[in-house]
């Protein structure tokens, strides 16, 4: 059953997406000022050599028809990534299967770096908006990953709204605002029609990955929280004012989830993760485990980006059959 779920959900989502060529940038030669992570940032020209980090940032650019403005992308492990923008990916250079480094960035001679905190920007790597500015390279920060004032916690706004903010900002920066507005309107309409009227709100635990002691999950400001609530559920860690968080299995047990959403890129990984969950004796009494209520989508559907609306629709359909 798990294999059927993963294959069908992924196939449906891939079939529902795609892009068409965007119009020629209208803002060429004109400075554009936008708000990015609570800062006013001015871009003097339309970027033509963007380096993007991770699949969600790259797909935002491709969804706006900007493949010919991308010098390369990094942080995507699978060069044959299953994406609704696979054709566009094939035309763009893959710079690294790891997150961006200074060497990767400078080797591509970019005029914009699009990344986020823990999505390519980090003090440990030395790649930050400030370090790029010192090298004369403009940046745009993924809004989902904006840092809170005076903290390393991430997240300022609802994660799906964060993705819409990014699309609209990118539309302005690249001179294609109409394309961005149309895409955001389409995604808002999908989300508005997703939730089934009158359905109870099940408790949902998002299991991203990893390890026996501290699984990675979603707080209020990571995209799964918005996907779950948009679909009619309640994220069991939605009160935590951060994005991606490590939790304990004891905390999961205390919250008694009815459904577990899983980040897995293929059937084999989904099978491994569900078998791991079913094997843990302390989880056996949870409703989600007892009824094997697992919902699986790939990583790119769970991070802030252009796939979120389709994720809401797919999860809402799953929850409606509870």
Evaluate if residue 214 carries a pLDDT over 80: yes
pLDDT of residue 15: 45
Contacts of 140 by beta carbon, 8 Å cutoff, 6+ apart: 36, 41, 112, 113, 114, 166, 169, 170, 173
Tell me: do 205 and 274 sit in the same domain. yes
Kindly state whether residues 245 and 168 are assigned to the same domain: no
Residues 114 and 172 in one domain: yes
Looking at the structure, do residues 206 and 172 belong to the same domain, yes or no? no
Domain hosting residue 186, numbered range: 18-191
Please check whether residue 274 is in contact with residue 262, taking contact to mean a CB–CB distance below 8 angstroms.
yes
Whether residue 145 sits in one domain with residue 22: yes
Tell me, yes or no, whether 23 and 167 share the same domain: yes
The residue-averaged pLDDT of 53-76 equals 94
Identify the top-confidence range among 73-87, 197-211, 306-320: 306-320
CATH number at residue 61: 3.40.50.1980
From 37-41, 61-65, 166-170, the region with the lowest mean pLDDT: 37-41
Percent of all residues in the chain with a pLDDT value above 70, rounded to a whole number? 85
3-class DSSP assignment, residue 209:
strand
Looking at the structure, tell me whether residues 184 and 225 fall in a common domain.
no
- Asked whether residue 187 falls in the same domain as residue 297, the answer is no
How many domains would you assign to the chain?
Answer: 2
Same domain for 310 and 187, yes or no, is: no
- DSSP state, 72? E
Task: Report which DSSP code applies to 146.
Answer: P
Residue 147 shares a structural domain with residue 291: no
In this structure, the answer to whether residues 54 and 187 fall within a common structural domain is yes
pLDDT of residue 188: 96
The pTM of this model reads 0.88
Give the span between the Cα atoms of 189 and 199, in whole angstroms: 20
Domain boundary among 161, 191, 221: 191
Domain shared by 168 and 40, yes or no: yes
pLDDT at 204 over 90: yes
Confidence check: pLDDT of 23 > 50: no
- Asked if 238 and 322 touch (Cβ cutoff 8 Å), the reply is no
pLDDT category of residue 4 using cuts at 50, 70 and 90: very low
Domain boundary at 191, 225, 252, which? 191
Confidence of residue 79 (pLDDT cuts 50, 70, 90): low
- Out of 144, 167, 191, pick the residue that ends a domain: 191
Model confidence at 14, pLDDT cuts 50, 70, 90, reads: very low
Give the pLDDT score at 281: 93
């Amino acid at each position: 059953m798990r294999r059927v779920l993963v294959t069908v959900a992924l196939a449906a989502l891939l079939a529902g997406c795609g892009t068409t060529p965007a119009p020629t940038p209208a803002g060429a030669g004109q400075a554009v000022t936008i708000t990015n992570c609570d800062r006013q940032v001015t871009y003097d020209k339309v970027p033509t050599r963007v380096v993007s980090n991770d699949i969600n940032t790259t797909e935002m650019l491709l969804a706006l028809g900007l493949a010919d403005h991308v010098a390369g992308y990094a942080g995507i492990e699978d060069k044959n990534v299953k994406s609704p923008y696979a054709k566009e990916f094939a035309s763009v250079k893959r710079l690294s299967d790891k997150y961006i480094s200074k060497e990767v960035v400078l080797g591509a001679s970019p005029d914009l770096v699009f990344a986020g905190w823990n999505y390519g920007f980090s003090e440990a790597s030395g790649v930050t908006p400030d370090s790029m500015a010192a090298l004369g390279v403009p940046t745009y920060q993924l809004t989902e990953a904006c840092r809170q004032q005076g903290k390393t916690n991430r997240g300022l706004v609802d994660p799906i709204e964060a993705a819409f903010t990014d699309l609209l900002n990118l539309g302005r920066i690249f001179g294609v605002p109409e394309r961005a507005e149309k895409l955001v309107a389409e995604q808002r309409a999908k989300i508005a029609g997703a939730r089934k009227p009158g359905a109870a709100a099940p408790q949902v635990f998002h299991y991203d990955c990893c390890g026996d002691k501290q699984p990675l999950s979603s707080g209020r400001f990571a995209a799964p929280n918005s996907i779950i609530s948009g679909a009619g559920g309640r994220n069991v860690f939605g009160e935590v004012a951060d994005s991606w968080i490590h939790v304990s299995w004891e905390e999961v047990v205390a919250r008694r989830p009815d459904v577990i959403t899983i980040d897995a890129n293929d059937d084999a990984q989904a099978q491994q993760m569900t078998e791991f969950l079913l094997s843990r004796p302390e989880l056996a009494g949870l409703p989600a485990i007892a009824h094997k209520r697992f919902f699986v989508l790939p990583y790119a559907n769970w991070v802030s980006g252009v796939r979120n609306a389709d994720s809401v629709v797919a999860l809402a359909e799953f929850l409606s059959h509870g």
